Amino acid sequence: MKTGWYPPAEDPSTPLSASGPAEMNVDFDKEIVYNIMLNIMRKMMNDTILQRWLDPVLGAATEAGRAILGIAGQIGQVVDKEDGSPLTRADLASNTIITEALARLEPAVAILSEEGDLDAFAAGRHRTFWCVDPLDGTKEFVGGRDEYTVNIAVIEDARPVFGVVYIPPKRAMYWAVAGGGAWRRIGDGQAERIHATDRPVPRVVVASRSHMDDRTRAYLGRLGAVETIQCGSSAKMTAVAEGRADLYPRFGPTCLWDTAAGAAVALEAGCRVLALDGEPLSYDPARGLKREGFLVVPQGMTVPSTMMV
C-alpha cells in the first residue's frame, strides 16, 4: 500500500549530464529538480517553516483522532502483522488522513509511516522526513483503554525537531517545535507550556503496560522505592515531559515512528532522550528503523546506568 508521496533517492552531489539537457532522461531530470527542492528545504528548515506547519498538522492529528474514535465502538477485524503487532481499520483510516494531509502540506518531504510503504521510503536517503505513527498503542485501543495516541514528527539530520502527540479519548494535544518549548492543550482549553520535573532523583517512573520485561523490573529495582505507573503508547513520553512522571526506561525494541513525536516534545520540555549506551537516541534511518531501547530523563536528574542491567 502506498500512501502520500515519496521522492526519489536524495543525492545532492549527483552531477548534471555533460551532454546537456537536450539528451537528458526525463526521469533523471525530474530527480534533479526534486533534489534541488529538497536542498532548498533543508536550507530553509527553521522555526518559521516548522511553525507554519504546526496548525495544519494539529488539524490532521485532530481529524485522525476523530476517525479513530468513530471506529472505537466497532473495531471489527484485528489483523496480526509480521512483527506480531495488531492492525485495525482505525490504524489505516488515521494513516490515510495524516499522510494525505502531509503530502498536500509539503510534497517534497518524504513520509515514513508505520502503515505506509516502507520499501519506497528505504529506497531513498532522507535527511529530512515526516515520521508518523497513526495509532500508537493499538493493543490499548483494542482493549478499550484510553492510552493510545496519534504521532506526527519531523526528523532533520537524525534529530526530532517537530512533534505532535494527540490522545484522542482525552482530547489531549501535545506539541513542540525546536527552540519553541513544549506545549499542551486539553480539549478547548488554553495552550500551556509544559516542563519536566527538576527533581534530582526520580520518585515516579512510567513504564510500558505491554512490555514490562525482566530488564525493566531489574532497573526499577535498582531505582529503589519509587512509584511505578504503567500505561501504553507515547503517552509515557508526554507524562515525563509534563512532569507527571520523572523517568521512562524502555529496554525492548521500538521503531522510529513509535518515539519520534514524543521525543520532540520531551526534548523541548527539558528532557534527554538517550539510547541505552548513554548517547542521544538517533533517528537516522540509515541505521535501521528499530532501536534497542532508550531512556527519557529530565536534564540534571541522576539515574543508574542502563548498561548495568
Taking the CA atoms of 90, 96, 97 and 102 in sequence, report the sign of the dihedral they define: positive
227-231 and 204-208 beta bridge pairing: parallel
Structural domains of the chain in order of their starting residue, each with its CATH number: 44-194 (3.30.540.10), 204-308 (3.40.190.80)
**Category of 76 on φ-ψ map: left (φ > 0), alpha (ψ -120 to 50) or beta:** left
- Whether the predicted pLDDT of 9 surpasses 60: no
Q: DSSP class of residue 300? A: T
Short-list 137, 117, 161, 111, CA closest to 267: 161
Q: DSSP class of residue 21? A: G
DSSP per-residue letters across 237-298: HHHHHTTS-SBEEEEEEEEHHHHHHHHHHHHHTTEEEEETTSSBPP--GGG-SEEEEEEEEE
Distance CA 229, CA 204 (A): 7
At 130-183, the pLDDT tens digits run 999 999 999 899 988 999 999 999 999 999 999 999 999 999 999 999 999 999
At 38-86, the pLDDT tens digits run 666 655 555 678 889 999 999 999 999 999 999 998 887 888 887 778 8
Short-list 165, 169, 173, 236, CA closest to 207: 236
Query: What is the average pLDDT value for the chain, to the nearest integer?
Result: 87
**Residue 156 CB: number of other CB atoms within 10 A?**
17
Give the CA radius of gyration of the chain: 20
pLDDT-derived band at 17 (thresholds 50, 70, 90) equals very low
Distance CA 293, CA 306 (A): 10
Q: Find out whether 266 and 182 touch, Cβ atoms under 8 Å.
A: yes
| Least confident stretch, 132-141, 169-178, 198-207, 220-229 | 220-229
At 294-304, the pLDDT tens digits run 999 999 999 98
